[in-house]
Amino acid sequence: MSHFKKLIIIRPDDWHVHLREGELLKCVIKSSTRVIGKCIVMPNLNIPITTSSLCEKYKKEIKELAGTDYFKPYIPCYLTENLNLNDFNFALQENIFIGAKLYPSGATTNSNYGINNIENTFPALELLIKHNKPLLIHGEKNAEGINLFDREKEFIDNDLSKIISKFPSLKIVLEHVSSKYGADFINNTNNLVGTITPHHMLLTKKDVFNGYINGHHYCMPIVKEEEDLLALREYACSGNDKFFIGTDSAPHKIQHKEGIENIKPGIFSAPCSIELYTEIFDQEKSLHNLEKFTSINGSKFYGLKPNYDKIVLVKNEWIVDKYTTQGNIKIKNFFGGRKLNWQIKY
């Protein structure tokens, strides 16, 4: 751990967050927007965000509920194989969509509208290049015979390599990269960057599967071996501008995480995500690179300016609230009930 007691950094962003919808959105909006400036909100709602009108409606709802000056949501189009390309072209041209999100079918929550045949997305990818907008990818191949822990590698070797070969100038984000293999691939590939979550730098598969399944540590892509965790820490903390913050904070009601067979994947880290990143960078003696990872690299990739204001983090022990609740909704917070050594000073 370092000798630092106080840090002042440019307000962080979050380039991958789930805010959900309806009562769940109202429950998580304050903790999810408490500190971040710009964020990319995932479009995998019950009715996915596939059109300009759905996007504008969702963005307006988020802004009204957030009610803070510094917070700005961006939304990518949920790619489907029968997308309205005229509307998609218009929405990219008017900066309604920040880019497009590719979910392989069956890979995660609400991905049943996603892609089965990658080649069916090529007309949409051509429009992304035309408008200089990025493709955001949930990089997992979910098919019979593929081991849960090999899904990321299989997607990279098959689908992602095919996309890169066909569209070498397309800007791509491999989101929530979860393996050493994936992080090395990002590092060695032009026009490809990656987001890294706090949980992929804190958990291994033993934290999920240890005689029983810990639903609160169950996410997609699944956390992997210690070797993967260490590689992700090294890349995140190195100052390498190909990697940046993306919490993949993904709330689910407690009844979808406990005491059931069909557990929904997702870890809700918003109530302490910046503090977790700070702790990790402190452990890796890399606090001098924290601001690049949280506040600069992502904006640079997306062609946006860093936030104008700053936040203060102080070395101070505190206990993360165990739950986020509102009405009859109860969500278990990642690290809930546990002690952290860094805290945001409001």
What is the residue extent of each domain of the chain?
Answer: 6-345
Q: Is the dihedral of CA 287, 291, 294, 297 positive or negative?
A: negative
CA pair distance 37, 172, nearest whole angstrom: 22
Residues forming beta bridges with residue 99, ordered by sequence position? none
**Confidence band of 56 (pLDDT split at 50, 70, 90):** very high
CA 313 to chain centre: 22
Q: Is the dihedral of CA 311, 317, 322, 328 positive or negative?
A: negative
Q: Which two tokens stand for residue 290?
A: 């924290």
SS3 67: coil
This prediction has a pTM of 0.97
Note the pLDDT of residue 2: 63
Note the pLDDT of residue 112: 73
The single-letter code of the amino acid at 229 is L
**Confidence band of 36 (pLDDT split at 50, 70, 90):** very high
Of the listed ranges 164-168, 210-214, 248-252, the one predicted with least confidence? 210-214
Instruction: Return the percent helix, strand and coil in the chain, to nearest 5.
Output: 35, 20, 45
Look at the block and give the residue holding tokens 């109202």: 26
CA pair distance 151, 162, nearest whole angstrom: 16
**Confidence band of 192 (pLDDT split at 50, 70, 90):** very high
Q: Which pLDDT tens digit goes with each residue over 122-179?
A: 999 999 999 999 999 999 998 888 999 999 999 999 999 999 999 999 999 999 999 9
Q: Report the pLDDT averaged over residues 211-227.
A: 95
Each as own residue / partner, the long-range contacts of residues 26-32 (CB below 8 Å, 24 or more positions apart, any chain) are 26/65, 26/326, 27/251, 27/324, 27/325, 27/326, 27/327, 27/329, 27/331, 28/251, 28/268, 28/270, 28/324, 28/331, 29/62, 29/65, 29/66, 30/66, 31/270, 31/271, 31/324, 32/249, 32/270
Each as own residue / partner, the long-range contacts of residues 85-89 (CB below 8 Å, 24 or more positions apart, any chain) are 85/123, 85/124, 85/127, 87/51, 87/52, 88/124, 88/127, 89/127, 89/130, 89/131
Q: Which pLDDT tens digit goes with each residue over 10-25?
A: 999 999 999 999 999 9
SS3 345: strand
- What amino acid positions are annotated as catalytic residues? 248
Q: Report the pLDDT averaged over residues 208-237.
A: 96
Please spell the DSSP secondary structure of 216-279, one letter per residue.
GG--SSPP--HHHHHHHHHHHHTT-TTEEE---B----GGGTSS-SSPPP-B--GGGHHHHHHH
Note the pLDDT of residue 109: 65
Q: Which pLDDT tens digit goes with each residue over 320-329?
A: 999 999 999 9
Q: Report the pLDDT averaged over residues 195-216.
A: 95
Average pLDDT, the chain: 95
How many percent of the chain have pLDDT more than 70?
98
Note the pLDDT of residue 118: 93
pLDDT at position 256 over 70: yes
Of the listed ranges 109-118, 169-178, 181-190, 253-262, the one predicted with least confidence? 109-118
Q: Which CATH number fits domain 6-345: 3.40.50.300, 3.20.20.140, 1.10.10.60, 3.10.300.10?
A: 3.20.20.140
